[in-house]
Copies of this chain bind each other. A is one copy, B any other.
Amino acid sequence: MTVYNFSAGPAVLPKPVLEMAQKEMLDYRGSGMSVMELSHRSSEFDEIIKAAELRLRELMAIPDNYKVLFLQGGASLQFSMIPLNLAKKSKKAYYIVGGSWGKKAYTEAVKLSKTIDFDPQLLASSEDTVYNHIPTFDSKTIDKEAAYVHLTTNNTIEGTTIYDLPDTNGVPIVADMSSNILAVRYRVADFGMIYAGAQKNIGPAGVTIVIIRDDLLNDTPVLSSMLDYRIQADNGSLYNTPPTYGIYIARLVFDYVASLGGVDAMETKNVEKATLLYDFIDKSEFYSNPVSVKADRSICNIPFVTPSDELDKLFNKEALEHDFKNIKGHRSVGGMRASIYNAFPLEGVQELVAFMKAFEERNKG
């Protein structure tokens, strides 16, 4: 039986990437060294990080006035770095909270505001309906002088997505794109900053991508050099030793995505996979998707439930026996969740639908 890994992250990686990593493990392209053994100041690694950046710029059509950084700490560390760097003294920063991770971003901003003088504002939230849609708001309420508006493009846990960016009254958008970067096409110029943990659509956990518009880089140092976008940018992500092996894998993934036709091709394929699953769920009277607004549905993370908690439990048990790994929903919401990022194959979704059909037949009572 083929193993299908529905993990929300760390997630499935393209097989050709893993095969290349395997091949090069003890000898990176004739260097006699593993990539893990390369000095981050060596010509070999210099080529890797520059090629990774170049390919990402190509894939996302990143304009020249944006810096690309390879950092550590995941999106969670960005939750603090963003206000630390971007929220100028006493200025407002807005948060659109459409899911658990957006809530965490806001909570960290509030925590930081007890030490650093800025004013995080909850602009909109759908928490009262368990984040079953993307919250809306009146853009006229936004102070034009605010530092930024933070949003999450794809809510990994709840399975919702912002496809069309909201009007923010001219204030730069800072976006956590961790779970749909390279899977859905966005226009980078519409953002002030984009960040993403690698472990969903890019590579192994431990690399964080930051794409930031030049003019948003801080002019005065923040309290820690490691947390300072300006210092990281001025040092080409080599202020200290970066996560070299993760950057190497990311580079292989970027090359792989390019070889398949880039982000637009990925999006087409992802829409096809997601449509297959959503159509099946919508036709079924047994399964349902908890997202209340169809236009907000994610093509990357698709949560669903059966008619009861008991059947959800049984589904998860039998799915695991069928070698469907990590399909259990996030502990905060329960049910099931199929995370079907770029590297997840169509055949896996087809097999899941077949399995769901058979499960329904056995259990519809």
Chain A residues within 8 Å of B, Cβ to Cβ? 2-3, 5, 7-13, 15, 18-19, 21-22, 25-26, 31-34, 36-40, 42, 72-77, 79-80, 108, 111-112, 114-116, 197, 199, 203-207, 221, 223-227, 239-246, 249, 323, 325-326
Contact = CB atoms under 8 A, between A and B. Distances in A.
A227 B33 contact: no
A11 B241 CA distance: 12
A206 B115 contact: no
Most buried by B among A8, A112, A226, A244: A226
**Assembly of this chain: how many copies?**
2
12 contacts: A7-B37, A7-B39, A9-B241, A10-B241, A11-B37, A22-B22, A32-B325, A76-B240, A79-B224, A80-B223, A205-B245, A206-B206
Contact of A199 (B26, B112, B241, B326): B241
Given A204-B243, A205-B241, A206-B243, A36 B13 contact: yes
B223 A112 contact: yes
A258 B204 CA distance: 27
A100 to B, nearest CB: 12
B34 A25 contact: no
A227 B80 contact: yes
Given A72-B74, A115-B116, A36 B108 contact: no
A49 to B, nearest CB: 12
A120 to B, nearest CB: 13
A74 B241 contact: yes
Contacts of A204: 36, 243-245
B246 A76 contact: no
A39 B74 contact: no
